[in-house]
C-alpha cells in the first residue's frame, strides 16, 4: 500500500511540475481513465466509493487537479475537464430521489446519535463485550492484527481509525470518540497488541528499501526528462497509452 501511495504522490508532483496527465501516466505506467458524466451523489461512477469520489471532484475548479486521494484500495489524481450546469427539474421527476436522499440523511444522523449514546455506555462499562451483552442488536467485529500503514479489512485505509486504535492499551481500552468510516460509525475498543518479530521487521525493512530505491529511480528519471525538456521537443502518441 505504501509503494502505491508513493507512486501516486510522484505522479502528483510531476503534474504540479507542469507535465500533462498522459505524460505522467506513461512515466508511472498507468492509464488515464475518463469517467462518464456523474452526479454529486456519485451516480454514473464505478469506483469503490462513488460518493467520496464525486464529492472531491465537485469541489475542484475546472481543470484543477486534486492531491492524492484513496478510495477503497486504489489511489487517484482527479482532474475536472467538464462541468455541466444544473437544470431545474419538476418536483414529480425528482420526488423519489429527494425522498430517498432525505431518508438516508436522517438515517445517518440517527446512527450518529445512537453511536454517541452507546459510546457513553461503553466508556462506563470499560468493555465492548459487556456493551454487546446489554445491547444484543449491536454487532461486535474484530479486525486482524494490523500495522499503522495497513489496509484494515472492513474499514479500509482510514488514518483516523488507525490513529485511534494505536492510542489504546490495556489501561485505556475504549476510544473516547466515535469514528466514521466507509461502513458507518464505529466505537473502537482495544483487544490485543503484538510486538513484531524479527522476520516481520526484516520484511518491513526490505519494503522500505524497495520504496526508497523506487523513489530514487523516479527522481532520477524525472530529472532526466526535465533536462530533455530544456533542450528538446518531446512528442508522444496518446493512443499508445490506451
Does the pLDDT value for residue 242 go beyond 50?
no
User: Residue with C-alpha cell 505522467?
Assistant: 24
- Which residue(s) pair with 79 in the sheet? 65
Question: What is the reported pLDDT for 116?
Answer: 94
Give per-residue pLDDT as tens, 224-235: 766 766 666 656
Crossing angle of helices 198-231/2-16, nearest 10°? 20
Question: Which residue blocks in the chain are alpha helix, DSSP H?
Answer: 2-16, 21-28, 50-58, 91-125, 128-134, 159-166, 198-231
Give per-residue pLDDT as tens, 94-118: 888 888 889 989 999 999 999 999 9
Question: What is the reported pLDDT for 221?
Answer: 67
CA-nearest of 164, 4, 142, 163 to 71 is: 4
Question: What is the reported pLDDT for 59?
Answer: 92
CA-nearest of 17, 14, 36 to 25 is: 14
Q: pTM (2 decimals)?
A: 0.51
Question: What is the reported pLDDT for 111?
Answer: 92
Task: Name the band, by pLDDT with cuts 50, 70 and 90, for residue 179.
Answer: very high
For residues 4 and 8, what is the distance between their CA atoms, to the nearest angstrom?
A: 6
Question: What is the reported pLDDT for 241?
Answer: 46
For residues 54 and 78, what is the distance between their CA atoms, to the nearest angstrom?
A: 10
Task: Name the band, by pLDDT with cuts 50, 70 and 90, for residue 35.
Answer: very high
C-alpha cell at 121: 455506555
Residue 139 CA from chain centroid, whole number? 24
Going from the C-alpha of 145 to that of each of 113, 164, 184, 194, 199, the distances in angstroms are 29, 14, 21, 8, 16
Does the pLDDT value for residue 199 go beyond 60?
yes
Question: What is the reported pLDDT for 70?
Answer: 82
CA-nearest of 33, 73, 30 to 57 is: 33
Give per-residue pLDDT as tens, 61-85: 988 888 878 887 777 888 898 998 8
Question: What is the reported pLDDT for 232?
Answer: 61
Task: Name the band, by pLDDT with cuts 50, 70 and 90, for residue 3.
Answer: low
Range of 60-74, 143-157, 210-224 with top mean pLDDT = 60-74
Amino acid at each position: 500500500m505504501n509503494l502505491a501511495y508513493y507512486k501516486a504522490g510522484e505522479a502528483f508532483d510531476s503534474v504540479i511540475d507542469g507535465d500533462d496527465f498522459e505524460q505522467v501516466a506513461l512515466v508511472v505506467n498507468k492509464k488515464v481513465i475518463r469517467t462518464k458524466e456523474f452526479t454529486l451523489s456519485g451516480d454514473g461512477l464505478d469506483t469503490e466509493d462513488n460518493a467520496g469520489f464525486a464529492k472531491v471532484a465537485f469541489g475542484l475548479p475546472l481543470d484543477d487537479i486534486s492531491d492524492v486521494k484513496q478510495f477503497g484500495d486504489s489511489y487517484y489524481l482527479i482532474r475536472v475537464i467538464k462541468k455541466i450546469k444544473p437544470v431545474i427539474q419538476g418536483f414529480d421527476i425528482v420526488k423519489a430521489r429527494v425522498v430517498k436522499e432525505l431518508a438516508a440523511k436522517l438515517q445517518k444522523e440517527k446512527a450518529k446519535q445512537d453511536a454517541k449514546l452507546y459510546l457513553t455506555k461503553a466508556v462506563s462499562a470499560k468493555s465492548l463485550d459487556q456493551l454487546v451483552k446489554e445491547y444484543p442488536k449491536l454487532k461486535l467485529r474484530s479486525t486482524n492484527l494490523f500495522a499503522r500503514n495497513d489496509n484494515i479489512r472492513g474499514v479500509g485505509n482510514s488514518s483516523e481509525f488507525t490513529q485511534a486504535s494505536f492510542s489504546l492499551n490495556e489501561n485505556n481500552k475504549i476510544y473516547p470518540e466515535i469514528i466514521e468510516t466507509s461502513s458507518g460509525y464505529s466505537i473502537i475498543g482495544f483487544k490485543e497488541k503484538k510486538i513484531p518479530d524479527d522476520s516481520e521487521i526484516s520484511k518491513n525493512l526490505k519494503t522500505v528499501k524497495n520504496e526508497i530505491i523506487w523513489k530514487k529511480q523516479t527522481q532520477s528519471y524525472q530529472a532526466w526528462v526535465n533536462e530533455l525538456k530544456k533542450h528538446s521537443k518531446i512528442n508522444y502518441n496518446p493512443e499508445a497509452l490506451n
